[in-house]
Amino acid sequence: MRCPLRHKKTASALRSDGTCVGGNCGLDKHSQTDTIFRMLVAHSPNARKHFRNKKTTEGNSHVSHDLQRAANVIRGLAMDGVEQAKSGHPGMPMGMADVAAVLFLRHLRHCPAHPEWPDRDRFVLSAGHGSMLLYSVLHLAGYGVTLDDLKAFRQWNSRTPGHPEAGHTPGVETTTGPLGQGCGNAVGMALAERMLAARFNAPEFPLTDHRTYVIASDGDLMEGVSHEAFALAGHLGLHRLIVFYDDNGITIEGRTALAYSDDVRRRFEGYHWHVLEIDGHDFEQIDGAITAARAETDRPTLIITHTHIAHGAPTAHDTAKAHGEPLGAEEVRAAKRALGLPEDQTFFVPDDVRLMFARRAREMDALYRAWDALRARYEAAHPDKAQCWRDHLAGTLPADLERALPSFPADKPVATRIASSKTLQHLAQAIPMLVGGSADLAPSTKTLIEGAPSVARGAFEGRNLHFGIREHGMAAILNGMALHGGFRVYGSTFFVFSDYCRPSVRLSAIMGVPVIYVFTHDSVYVGEDGPTHEPVEHLASFRAMPNVTIIRPADATETAAAWVAALRNTRGPTLLLLTRQNLPVLDRNRYPRAAELAKGAYTLWQSAPGTPRLVVLASGSEVSLALDAAQRLPPQPVIRVVSMPSWELFARQPAAYRKDVIPPESLKLAIEAGTSFGWERHVGTEGRVLAIDRFGASAPYQTIAKHFGFTPERVAETIREMLAGG
């Protein structure tokens, strides 16, 4: 741990008593504290008046004692939970317990009695491996996480899983664990707060006025997604975002110095952040830093919090072992002894600590009631805006959404990305809460809401988000916006770059967050850009991911229907896969309604009445190819063409419908310009798949189609072979 004053970079560290070692500082503990305190004030001039009148914890030994007592109880609960489970990460909760105590008892606006309060502060434990810190605080704060829940840490069907899960444990705002993800989510939450405030706040009615707090670890800052998200947060000036960097110098393998020597202060100053640096075990410094961060009105704040991992454990502190292993019974007893806790009692919570948190809960309940009264006055003064605000928070969609869709003439081919853009413009008019953007590809993905302003620093009224070339950050931010509430969000890039989004898409699926991903340039028909830009295996890989709905529409009319299906899917993410190249527009006077897309697969055309001898299954751009080929053949034996834009929507249909569309006794041929993997579940052992089980090539897409066999002649020949028993 370096001296928080950073007088010199060489060898500055803190002794256990808080004094600087290495001969660089020359100040004792109290001089350091006083100097740091004044530095914090200097960094935030708006806080000076508050600081002049504030009785700090250093000057109030009773308050300091109470916070220390609460922090040590948190440490005890965390140790006991991990020890009982024989699994977990005790070090981080013990190291950050002091910060958590100050934050929850003195600063965080939250109300356990009303956990869904829209204007609550959000707290994100991005370092999700330290989940026992969060569970312990939620128990003390009164969120209904019981001692029995703490005792069931990491056990089957408990409310205290190994890493926090949104929607599973009361008070948990997002699912964290994969490092860096919580950082991105928090940026999304902070962005959503500013956008809601810009839309709905009125003079004297700060309806949306909260902050987002994050605890991030060394690992969070090493992961690239945190860089992407935090750089954008600084660019946008999200000043209500406050991040504690738990700088304890330890990772699983040992000291962070093995692989990590970033100058974090300079890095975040380069992001245009407000940066503070404190001793994370000094209550005055913690409190002062949070106050200074709250007073900042132009930039997000990083509080570099120097801590000891497993603080309070006699031999385990500052060791890599404390990161991810139980301390052991003897070390736990010794730690409790050092912390002033009963060494032979587990899950100990004294009455005085319960009283502290109960008192804070009453204060927060009063704060909630004051806000609720403000809301009532707002609704009386601004009824129309209030109704729109309620619709935003509830995610209310127009009942007649289909009426908002555009029409497409059947005589004019159009790429589905272009059809998507036209659809988006119509839907945006009908759904004010629909917002989104792209990873610097809007001119190609066609995802700009025309006539709407862009979101920018100090101008959050807009609807178009510009994420820069940051696919991973984009997806994590979208998750955070969706979790925050108030908007239906979409993000876009080329389908091949979905690899950069995948970890965040997976968390969208785990949490059941309804983010819409618009992935264009969906196949080898990207053409001249070559195999690096041609997604081949991506469709199969996302189909393997649970709770992801994928829709690959066949034409412009199905694209419009796909947007409706995506908006109505609130159980998880939806992926819209769209073409770069033009496709024929199906004449819906001749073929079934495009709204049939909502069933995932439907009979598009059949050569003659009766049970088909052969069913051709196709998605996306291959549907018109299947139609062309099948319609070249004689009407007997009976051939059916099925448009199958979504396996997932089809799987949700009744078994009778699925058997009717794809009769078990019929031969099946699947056509898709991607890998064949997975199609065997639909075509069976006797069926065939016309696919591309290799990487693509660089050439005009018509040439690619010919060489890979995606021509009407080749498809018709394959059908004849199958009907002949070949």
Contact 150, 80 (CB under 8 A): yes
Provide the token pair at 89.
């990460």
Bridge partners, residue 586, by sequence: none
Closest CA to 409 of 144, 622, 586: 586
Catalytic pick among 471, 558, 596, 672: 471
Where helices occur in 214-324 by DSSP H, the ranges are 218-222, 224-236, 264-270, 283-295, 321-324
Written in H, E and C, the secondary structure of 608-641 is: CCCCCCEEEEECCCHHHHHHHHHCCCCCCCCEEE
CA 414-420-422 angle, to 5 degrees, is 80
Collect all residues with Cβ–Cβ distance below 8 Å to 590 and sequence separation of at least 6.
Answer: none
Q: How far apart are CA 477 and CA 497, in angstroms?
A: 17
Provide the token pair at 115.
């956990």
Bridge partners, residue 254, by sequence: 251
Q: How far apart are CA 484 and CA 188, in angstroms?
A: 8
Where helices occur in 158-302 by DSSP H, the ranges are 181-200, 218-222, 224-236, 264-270, 283-295
Exposed/middle/buried for residue 514 (C-beta within 10 Å: 0-12, 13-18, 19+): buried
Active-site annotation holds for 471: yes
Q: Which residue has the tokens 């009769």?
A: 663
Q: How far apart are CA 667 and CA 685, in angstroms?
A: 10
Exposed/middle/buried for residue 716 (C-beta within 10 Å: 0-12, 13-18, 19+): middle
CA 50-52-57 angle, to 5 degrees, is 85
Question: Which residues are annotated as catalytic?
Answer: 471
